[in-house]
Amino acid sequence: MKFALVDSRISNIEKENLKKFGLEIICCPTSNLLYDAVCGHPDMLLNIIDKNRLLLHKDTDSKFINKLKKLNFKVILSKNSLKNKYPKDIILNAVNTKKIFMHNLKFTDPTLLDLVKNKNLINISQGYSKCSTAIVSPNAVMTSDIKIAKILTKNKFDVLLLPPGDILLPGLDYGFIGGCCGLIDEKTIAFYGNLKFYKYGNEVLQFLNKHNVKPIFLRNDKLIDRGSILCIENNL
């Protein structure tokens, strides 16, 4: 069974459109340890370690933890607590793939760092690493962060560098490309919004087409950063 971890505040339309692709929706409870704009964003609250293991922030609601355990996930808790001031808000906001682990390693939660120590660790200055990075394939990403683009290009990734802005994030000036989308399978990426309303939508569509990835749009409006859509499949 495949699950999509999402902010509990996403709209019913967005939930229903995700369900059309065979996904069970898991709504992440908001945390009062973070500021409102991102307090329910999955990429701030947890990190997927592998197929059956999830690392959650240590103060996660116990009901949510029990729900995940009933769904056959192994839950690991972070060593440190989230706080609403940088850099203590970004301890879990890392890009974690089979190939790499990318984050500002100085601020990565120690438990998370220990779990990925055998991967190719890429240290960057951008603490909001996952927010800033949209995974398109194991070797392709989109980002608006120049430093991320440079270091991933050096690591043999194909990178689409986008100008910042034109992505909504209520409460802040703008959101990030990684926070408004997520792969739901190897060849399909879901967006909170429609690329036809995005200033750089054509560039994104061309890049997705290059990598044989199809976009789906969960709402017919501007892109909005609701935190990365994180999909995980387990062996129920």
pLDDT in tens, 130-186: 999 999 999 999 999 999 999 999 999 999 999 999 999 999 999 999 999 999 999
Please state the domain extents for the chain: 2-233
CA 13 vs CA 84, 98, 193, 221: distances in Å:
29, 32, 11, 12
pLDDT score, position 79: 98
Give the C-alpha separation, 50 to 143, whole Å.
Answer: 23
Q: Do strands 133-137 and 140-143 pair parallel, antiparallel, or not at all (unpaired)?
A: antiparallel
Residue 235 pLDDT > 90:
no
Q: Which helix (H) or strand (E) covers residue 42, if one does?
A: helix 42-45
Distance of CA 195 to the CA centre of its chain: 18
Stretch 59-72: mean pLDDT: 97
Q: Which helix (H) or strand (E) covers residue 17, if one does?
A: helix 12-19
Give the C-alpha separation, 2 to 24, whole Å.
Answer: 6
Within 10 angstroms of residue 213's Cβ, the number of other Cβ atoms is 18
pLDDT score, position 14: 98
The residues with which 26 forms a beta bridge, in sequence order, are: 5
Share of the chain above pLDDT 70, in %: 99
Residue 110 pLDDT > 80:
yes
pLDDT score, position 107: 98
pLDDT score, position 236: 55
Residue 234 pLDDT > 90:
no
Give the C-alpha separation, 63 to 153, whole Å.
Answer: 41
CA 227 vs CA 60, 79, 82, 157: distances in Å:
17, 22, 16, 23
Give the C-alpha separation, 136 to 158, whole Å.
Answer: 10
pLDDT score, position 28: 98
| Band of pLDDT at residue 51, cut at 50, 70 and 90 | confident
pLDDT in tens, 79-93: 999 999 999 999 999
pLDDT score, position 84: 94
pLDDT in tens, 195-222: 999 999 999 999 999 999 999 999 999 9
Residue 187 pLDDT > 90:
yes
Which pair of structure tokens corresponds to residue 45?
């609250």
Closest CA to 89 of 143, 33, 134: 33
pLDDT score, position 98: 92
Average pLDDT, the chain: 97
Please answer whether residues 28 and 7 qualify as being in contact, where contact means their C-beta atoms are separated by less than 8 angstroms.
yes
Within 10 angstroms of residue 161's Cβ, the number of other Cβ atoms is 16
State pTM to two decimals. Answer: 0.97
Residue 226 pLDDT > 90:
yes
Domain 2-233, what architecture?
5-stranded Propeller (3.75)
| Band of pLDDT at residue 21, cut at 50, 70 and 90 | very high
Hey, which bits of the chain come out as E strands?
2-7, 24-28, 46-48, 53-56, 74-77, 95-96, 100-103, 120-123, 133-137, 140-143, 158-161, 181-185, 188-191, 214-217, 230-233
| Band of pLDDT at residue 25, cut at 50, 70 and 90 | very high
pLDDT score, position 231: 97
